[in-house]
Amino acid sequence: MQTAASSAIEELKIRELLEKYPFVKDYFDAFGLDDYADYQEKTFCEYIEYLSEDFLEENGLEKGALLESITDLLDTMETEEQEDVNSITIYGGKDKFGNPENIKLNINKGEVVCIVGPTGSGKSRLLADIEWVAQKDTPTGRLVHINGDKPDKKWRFSIEHKLVAQLSQNMNFVMDLTVEEFVKMHAESRLVENPDIKVDEVFNLANELAGEPFERDTQITSLSGGQSRALMIADTAVLSKSPIVLIDEIENAGIDRQKALNLLVKKEKIVLMATHDPILALLGNKRLVIKNGGISKIIEVDDTERRLLPKLREIDNKLLEYRNRLRNGEILDGVN
């Protein structure tokens, strides 16, 4: 069966192919097909017939493999562009004692759901079930549907289709790159259009989130914990195609927490966040209470609870002030 990708390489001139799929330029560059600009008015199928046997042998290429690889690339990108996750539904399994959860939770695009509970209660297990798109095949026996239906296997097993972007508590970089080099590498690897513009967007947003600004030429290995978290949240919001973001404790990251959530919601991500922070818990749309490895309660956050936010922020700001004064070597006199 002929796909849109196979039709494109047979019917579109290279000039038209590049206009419709700008990322194809990276494909040409990756395979050393430097002379494609001389064949703008030929189709890709026609173009590869002009490649000499010496060139193919020297670069370890075959015409059939070139056709197959560009077709796979176009098919993958078309699928990713057309795919849209509007909701996930979690059907309850059981807690660690075998008691049924008896819940059905639907989470829509743009919603923030907070997961609360004591340390070791099972918050990370719930995040793992969502990331794995559990089909009653994890210790909890939970079931996860996408857009109200059983998920396609690609969401579980395909490298190209990452349902979830996960931000863990610790961000440890080991690559010897600057911030700009790191983000540009991400942008180019994801074949985004106008990567330089995206790098600017990620950098500016990260500095809005970070408590302490940093420069483009800052080595990523020298970023603080808060700066690292801010960079990865901005990177995920702008560059990641994953529709779901799982965050494991953001409260101690040294970033503007509300701005971080607003950014992810603005990008229409489904956000699930394990937290001990009462401010974050009240910023979400729903709150899941975890006990004994199971979801014991689902709470809709209402205006009554949100009326506490100004007071909580006042307390939080005062604690931040004290922390900064201690860092600056000041004495806390118990009055101011």
What pLDDT does 3 receive? 66
Angle, CA of 109, 114 and 116, to the nearest 5°:
155
- pLDDT-derived band at 187, boundaries 50, 70, 90: confident
pLDDT at 82: 44
* pLDDT tens-digit map of 119-157: 889 988 998 899 888 999 999 999 999 999 988 777 776
Q: What is the 3-state secondary structure (H, E, C) of the chain?
A: CCCHHHHHHHHCEHHHHHHHCCCHHHHHHHCCCHHHHHHCCCEHHHHHCCCCHHHHHHCCCCHHHHHHHHHHHHHHHHHHHHCCCCEEEEECCECCCCCECCCEEEEECCCEEEEECCCCCCHHHHHHHHHHCCECCCCCCCEEEECCECCCCHHHHCCCCCCEEEECCCCCCCCCCEHHHHHHHHHHHCCCCCHHHHHHHHHHHHHHHECCCCCCCCEHHHCCHHHHHHHHHHHHHHHCCCCEEEEECCCCCCECHHHHHHHHHHCCCEEEEECCCHHHHHHCCEEEEEECCEEEEEEECCHHHHCCHHHHHHHHHHHHHHHHHHHCCCCCCCCC
Give the lowest-confidence range in 43-52, 70-79, 111-120, 303-312: 70-79
The rounded mean pLDDT for the chain is 84
Q: Which residue has the higher pLDDT, 4 or 146?
A: 146
Structure confidence by residue, pLDDT tens digits, 156-168: 766 556 788 887 6
**Residue 80 above 60 pLDDT?**
no
**Residue ranges of domains in the chain:** 4-82, 87-307, 308-336
User: Which tops the pLDDT comparison, 155 or 318?
Assistant: 318
CATH architecture of 87-307: 3-Layer(aba) Sandwich (3.40)
pLDDT of residue 336: 58
Least confident of 9-18, 101-110, 179-188, 252-261: 252-261
Decide: pTM greater than 0.85: no
